[in-house]
Structure 1
Amino acid sequence: MNNPLKPALDKKTRKFKEYNSYNLQSNNYYLLPFRFIRLDEQNELLVNEVGDFLIVSSGTVERIVNKKLDKISDEELYADLIAAFFISETPIPALLDVISTRYRTKKSFLDHFTALHIFVISLRCEHTCHYCQVSRVSENKKAFDMQRHHIDKGIDLMMKSPNPHITMEFQGGEALLAFENITYAVIQAKEKAMLLNKKISFVICTNLAVITDEMLKFCKEHEILISSSLDGPSFIHNKNRHRNGNNSYELAVKGIEESRQVLGFDRVSALLTTTNLSLLYPHEIVDEYYKLGFRNIFLRPISPYGFANYNERKNHYKTSEFLDFYKKALDKIIELNLRGEFFREDYAAIILRKILTPFPVGYVDLQSPAGMINSVIVFNYDGKVYATDEARMLAETKDYTFELGSLDTHSYEELFYGDKARFFSDAWTNESLPGCSECALQSYCGADPVFNYATQGTFIGHRPTSSFCERNMAIIKHLFLLMEKDARIKTIFRTWITGNN
C-alpha cells in the first residue's frame, strides 16, 4: 500500500536563514508599530498606534517592510513616514514621549468614568412602532413607571460617579407620559449635583406627540435638551411609527417647531431609524431633514435587539443594502455642502473626528474599551441595572446576560466594579480581540460585546461574519477614499468636526 505521508517524509527539512538576514541593526531605519489595509487597487492605508495615517500607492507597504526605501530617492515618502511615526532612524524614537501623550489623549474618555446615566422612566407609550426594541405597554399602565425610591437610588449612584460632568437621560416607552416623575428627578438631581459641585445635563427622549406648553416651560427653566425621532417624510415616518390617527409625523413636526420656539433651535435634535422602507428613499430622507431646518442627520441601521427582531419583513435587511443606502444619502449630503450649505452626517463626523484629530469621541459604540459601564449605565423602570441601553433591550426578551444587579440590593461598587463588570471587560477592548488586534482600522472603530452576543452568541464575536465589522470597515474606507479623491470633500469633512461652516 502506498504511504500517503511519503511525500512529506521525503521532503528535506527547511533551514533558517543566516543570522545576518534578521539583523535589523544593519538597516537604515527601524519599523514602528503600524497596520495596513488595501483601500482599492491603487491605494494602501497605513495607520499607526495613535491613529495617524498615510495613504500610499499599492506596493508601498511591501517596500517599507522589506527595507527597500531609499532616503534620497524616496525623500518625500521617507520624511512622511518619519514624521508620522511609522519608521524611526533609531531603535527608540526620539519623540517617544509625544507618541505616548497622544495615545493617552485618545483614551482620555476613560479619565472620569461613567458620564451618561439613562433612567427608563416609564415603559408606557401611545405609539406602536414596528421596530421598537422594548416591550412597550399601553399608556394607562402606571405600574410600568419608575418608582420614586428607584429614582432616588439611581440619582445617589449617579452622583458617586467620579465624572465631574454627568448626563441624566430620560427614556421610555414615551418618557413624557411620566412627566411628573421627570420633574421630581430633575429637581432632586440638581440639588444633589449642586452640593457635590458636579455639572449636570438633562435629556428627554420623546416622540413629542404628547408634549405640552407646561412641559416645555419646565424644560426651558432647567435647560433640558429634547431628543426626538424623525424617520423622514410623512409616508415613511407614519408607516414606521404608527399611532392611532396615523398622525405621528404631523405631531412630531409640530412638536419640533414648538420646542425650538421655546427652548432654542439647537436644543432640539432628531434621530432616524432606517427600515426596509427607508432604504428606498435616501435622498428624500435627507431632503426632509434639510426642509425642516436640521443641519445634521444620523444615518443609523435598526438595532438587532428585542422586539425589533420579530418583524422580519419590515426590519431585516442585509448590511450591504444599508451601506448602499448610506452612501447614496452621504452623496446627497456632500452635494449640499458643495453648494455652500452646511449639513453634517453625524456617524461620519464621529469617525472623522477619530481620523483627523487626536481627540476621543463620546459615542459609546465606537469606543475601546467599550462604552458599556465605562461611559454609560442604564437604570430600568423596575430597578434593574444594565450595562447599556441595548442590554436592557435584550432583557425585554428575557435575556438577562448583561444585567448588573438591582438598585434595591446592590451597591455602587458591586454594580460598576463587580464580578460581572470584570467578566465583560475581557471582551471590551478591540486592541486585544481576534480580528481587531491586527486590523488597520482598529483606531477608528470600537468594541461592542453586547452587539457581538446578540448577533453571534459570543462576547468576542467573529469578525469575518460580523455586520458591525462589515458596516464600519466599509464606511471608514469609503470616507478615506472620498477624501483622497477630492480635496474639497476633505475640507467639508473638517468643517463637520470643527463646526466652522
Structure 2
Amino acid sequence: MSKFQPIEFYKNKKKEYSLLPFRFEPLSGNNYAVTNLAGEHLIIPRDALENLVRHKLDSGSAHYVNLRAKHFLTDDKTQIAKELLSIKLRTKYSVLSEFTGLHIFVVSLRCEHSCPYCQVSRQSDDKVKFDMSTEVADRSIDLALRSPSKNIKIEFQGGEPLLNFPLIKHIVVAAKSRAGDKNLSFVIATNLALINEEILSFCKEHEIIISTSLDGPKEIHNANRPRPGGNSYEKAVAGIQLVREHLGIDAVSALMTTTKNSLGHVKEIIDEYLRYSFTGIFLRPLSPYGFALKTKTYAAYDAERWHDFYLEGLEYIIDLNRRGVKFREYYTSTILTKMFTSQEPGYVDLMSPSGIGIGAVVYNYDGLVYASDESRMLAEMGDTSFELGNVLTNSYEDIFLNPKLLDPIEESFAYSVPMCNDCAFESYCGADPVFHHGVYKDFIGRKPESEFCNRNMKIFKYVIERMEADPYVKRLFMSWAQPNA
C-alpha cells in the first residue's frame, strides 16, 4: 500500500468528531486503559480504541457516549469540551499557587531508640549539641510564615522531638503569636516513649496532634525499633492509649515501615492496627535513604517481595470491608483521590511537579534547610544536592529560588519527562527527583529501571483492573477516593 493517497482520499474523509489529548496503556486480555489530561479514565477494548483513533467509532455506541462524556473526543454536541477539560486541568494544578504548606522542624537529632532502618544518623540522647537552638527556631518560623499558603502545618521531627520539648513549646507559642491570618496546625512525630501528662496538657491546649510508629505486633515492632530495655512496643501502645485518653481517639495516627521482618506478616500487622482501633494503614515501602542505606537493611530488602506484601495486604483489607469492617489502605486511597477527583492530596511522592519544596520543606536542627525529609537523609550520607541554604544566613528568596530546588522541579515535571509524557498513568503518578538522584544519580532516572516507576505502574494497573473485575471493589475504592469519607 502506498503511503501517498490521492486527493480524493482526503476530500471524502469524514471527521464527525475531533480527538482531545489522551494516552493509553494495555491491560490484561484485550482491554486498554485510556486517560485524558485531567486523569479521567475509561476501560475499552482494543477494537474500540482503534476505531476511535481512526475516526470510525459509531456515534451511537456506548463507547462513543462514554468517551465524549469524559472529554476524550468532542463533536457538535459538545463544543465546550475543551473548555471543561482546561478547567479541570487548572483545578488540578491550582495547589501550586499555595506553595509550601508543610514545614518540618527537626528540633533534635537525639533519640533513645536505635532502629536499624532509621533514615537519619541519630545521636545518643545525651548529646545536646544536636538540639535546635531558639535562634534557629525563630528564624525558621519567620520563613515558614512567609509561605503563600493560608494553611501552615508545622511538624516536629527528630531523632525524638520530645527530647527537646521546651523548644516545641516555644515554637508553638511563637508561631501562633506571629501567624496573622494564617491557619496553623501542629503535629509531633514521636515514638511515644517519653509522652507524659505535662506534654499532653500542652498538646490539648494548643490542639496538637500526634503521629507515631507502629510496625506491627510486639515481635516485629521490637525487632524493628530496639531501645534500652527492649520495650519499645509496650511504650508505643501505652502511649497511644494515653494520648487518646487526653486528646481523643483521632488525635493520634500511626505509620508502619516495611522491613524484611515485616514481609510475610502483612495480615498480622493489619490486625494489630485493628486491635488498636485505627481505621487504616499505609503499607509503605522502605525508603533507600540515609542510615538505612548505609546498613545491610536496604540491601536485604526485595522490592518485588514488597509488592507481593502490598497486594496481599490490600486483598485482606478488601475482604475485611466485605465482612463489614471499615478499614482502608492510605496509599491506595491517595491514588484513588487523584484518579476520581480534582483534588491534589498533597502526598509529596505523588506530586508533579515534584513536591520537594512545594509540598514540604525541612528546617534542620543546625539551621540548614532541605527540599524534603528524604533530602535531609541524603545529606546525612554526605550528599548535599538538595541543601537549599541556612536560616541564619539566607533569605526566603535565597532558599526557595535556589537552583538546587528549581532545577530538579523543572527537570522532573512528569508531563515533560521521556516515557512519563506517554504514560497513561502520568496524572496519577508523581516525580521523585530525590529518590532517583539518591539511587540512580539522576533527577528523572531511566524509567524501565526505576523502582519508583515500576512499583507505581503495577499498582495503578492492579487498582484499575480490580475495579473493572468486581463491582463491590469499585464501590469501595470510589469511597476511598474521598479522603474524609
TM-score normalised by L of structure 1 = 0.93
Cα distance change on mapping 1:332 and 1:315 into 2, 3 Å: farther
Q: CA deviation at 1:91?
A: 12
Which secondary structure state, in structure 2, belongs to the residue aligned with residue 442 of structure 1? coil
Residue 129 of structure 2 corresponds to residue 143 of structure 1: yes
Change (3 A) 1:92 1:456: farther
Task: Say whether 1:444 aligns with 2:432.
Answer: no
Give the root-mean-square deviation of aligned CA atoms. Answer: 1.8
**Corresponding residue pairs, total:** 484
SS for the counterpart of 1:450 is: helix
Tell me, in whole angstroms, the C-alpha distance in 1 between the residues paired with 2:413 and 2:435: 14
**Which whole-Å CA distance do the structure 2 matches of 1:448 and 1:313 have between them?**
22
In structure 2, the CA distance between the partners of 1:19 and 1:428, relative to structure 1 (3 Å rule), is farther
Q: Which residue of 1 aligns with 2:248?
A: 264
Find out whether 1:495 has 2:483 as its counterpart: no
Selected match of 1:475 from 447, 452, 459: 459
User: Distance between the aligned counterparts of 2:47 and 2:58, measured in 1?
Assistant: 15
How far apart, CA to CA, are the structure 2 residues paired with 1:24 and 1:333?
Answer: 56
Residue 418, structure 1, aligned to residue 402, structure 2: yes
Structure 1 residues 372, 252: CA separation in 2 closer, same or farther (over 3 Å shift)? Answer: same
1:53 to 41, 50, 61: 41
Whichever residue aligns with residue 157 of structure 1, its letter is: L
CA contact (8 A) 1:31 1:86 kept: yes
Tell me the percent identity: 48
- Show the 5 A alignment for 1:13-412: 16-18=4-6, 26-72=14-60, 75-89=61-75, 93-193=79-179, 196-313=180-297, 316-412=300-396
Q: Deviations over 1:283-302 (max 9, x none)?
A: 11111111111111001001
Helix, strand or coil: the match of 1:139?
coil
Quote how far apart the aligned CAs of 1:421 are. 2.6
Residue-by-residue CA offset, 1:393-423 (whole Å, 9 max, x unaligned): 0000111000011112110011112333332
**Bigger CA drift: 61-70 or 337-346?**
61-70
Residue 139 of structure 1 deviates from its aligned partner by 0.3
CA distance in 2, matches of 1:23, 1:368: 42
Q: Does the 8 A contact of 1:30 with 1:90 survive in 2? A: no
Instruction: Tell me the CA shift for residue 312 of structure 1.
Output: 2.4
Q: Which runs of 5+ in 1 are unaligned?
A: 1-13
CA distance in 1, matches of 2:328, 2:375: 29
Matches of 1:468 and 1:23 in 2, distance apart? 48
CA–CA distance in structure 1, aligned partners of residues 288 and 336 of structure 2: 25
Q: Which amino acid aligns with 1:145?
A: D
Deviates more, 1:253-262 or 1:315-324: 315-324
Q: Is the 8 A contact 1:44 1:57 kept in 2?
A: yes
Aligned to 1:7: none
Q: CA deviation at 1:341?
A: 1.3
Structure 2 CA distance for partners of 1:18 and 1:459, relative to 1, 3 Å = farther
Rg larger for: 1
Change (3 A) 1:457 1:26: same
Contact preservation (8 Å) 1:166, 1:199 = yes
Distance, in Å, in 2 between the alignment partners of 1:387 and 1:23 is 56
* Residue identity opposite 1:232 in structure 2: G
Specify the alignment match of 1:3 in structure 2: none
- SS of 1:437 mapped into structure 2: helix
Task: Give the SS at the match of 1:26.
Answer: coil
Which AA in structure 2 matches 1:49? L
Structure 2, unaligned stretches of length 5 or more?
A: none
* 2-structure distance, mates of 1:97, 1:313: 51
- CA offset at residue 207 of structure 1? 0.5
Query: Any conservation in 1 of the 2:288–2:298 contact (CA below 8 Å)?
Result: no
Measured in 1, the distance between the counterparts of 2:114 and 2:195 equals 18
